[in-house]
Copies of this chain bind each other. A is one copy, B any other.
């Protein structure tokens, strides 16, 4: 089942794909995929079946897309989670490293990524995203996939020059062993709100595909194109930490809630036809349209605009 949230006469409305060309509108109480995942997958699927039988039809080509989950409680993103990363890591954790992207950063398929020239370099990061169904804390790895409502696409837009700006090289205060004195330890710390969380830095969608249609979330081709040129051509088989490992680890620290979104980390492998790395795609210089495609889910395309 492919579900999406659209703007329907000014109201967020959940729809289900009846074919590649048409969707059916769900009953009014479902404004977005989050509202389904917060009830139960069963109730949601029943409502979607009701819509498939008798809901209003709309042509897919005419839709105004919104983020499938309008206001996730949190968007947890996993950093450096591709098998191409470890050889670049001098030191780092043996577990998933995570940051939070605010829900205000989300935009739907087709909506512009809006940049300022002062943002410096800005590149796309194509990612598989997990939408949580039943929430929980301390979820066992063996049970983790039962907490997934579905899968979608996140373009984790990143501004590395803002990252550099928001990195401190400083003397961290550490306690001295014993007593009330402190010692200073030279450290680096970086803060991601701007470089990962600015408005429009979170294209999400277009569809959430329910788990019954994704036999294996680690066998999906994922590509990124810029103005039609293939740049990234990777597979979710190259994820370093699996969906189950990330859900188990994240939920050990942060209770996951229905509708939470997890960005699984950037697909990095360059197209075998040669060409640029995703970090070469400076959207602030190039403009144009960036698209992320995942087999079985769809294509999330967003034009660049300046503000």
B-binding residues in A (CB < 8 A) = 71, 73-74, 76, 79-80, 85, 88-93, 95, 97-105, 121, 137, 160, 163, 165-175, 180, 182, 184, 186-194, 197-199, 250, 253-257, 274-277, 279-280, 282
Contacts and interface: CB of A to CB of B under 8 A. Distances in A.
A103 B168 CA distance: 25
A135 to B, nearest CB: 9
A257 to B, nearest CB: 6
A169 B90 contact: yes
Nearest to A280: B175
B170 A90 contact: yes
A198 B85 CA distance: 25
Given A98-B193, A276-B180, A105 B254 contact: yes
Q: Give the one of A166, A186, A193, A274 with max B CB within 10 A.
A: A193
Contacts of A85: 170
Contacts of A168: 79-80, 89-93, 97
A254 B121 CA distance: 18
A95 B275 CA distance: 36
A191 B92 CA distance: 11
A167 B97 CA distance: 8
Nearest to A123: B175
A163 B180 contact: no
Given A74-B102, A79-B189, 11 more contacts: A71-B73, A74-B103, A88-B173, A90-B169, A93-B168, A100-B100, A180-B276, A193-B254, A197-B253, A199-B253, A199-B255
7 residue pairs, one from A and one from B, having the closest CB atoms: A188-B188, A98-B193, A74-B102, A92-B168, A180-B276, A100-B100, A88-B171
A253 B198 CA distance: 5
Contacts of A193: 76, 97-100, 250, 253-254
A129 to B, nearest CB: 16
Contacts of A80: 168, 170
A73 B276 CA distance: 36
A90 B184 CA distance: 12
A34 to B, nearest CB: 12
Nearest to A137: B199
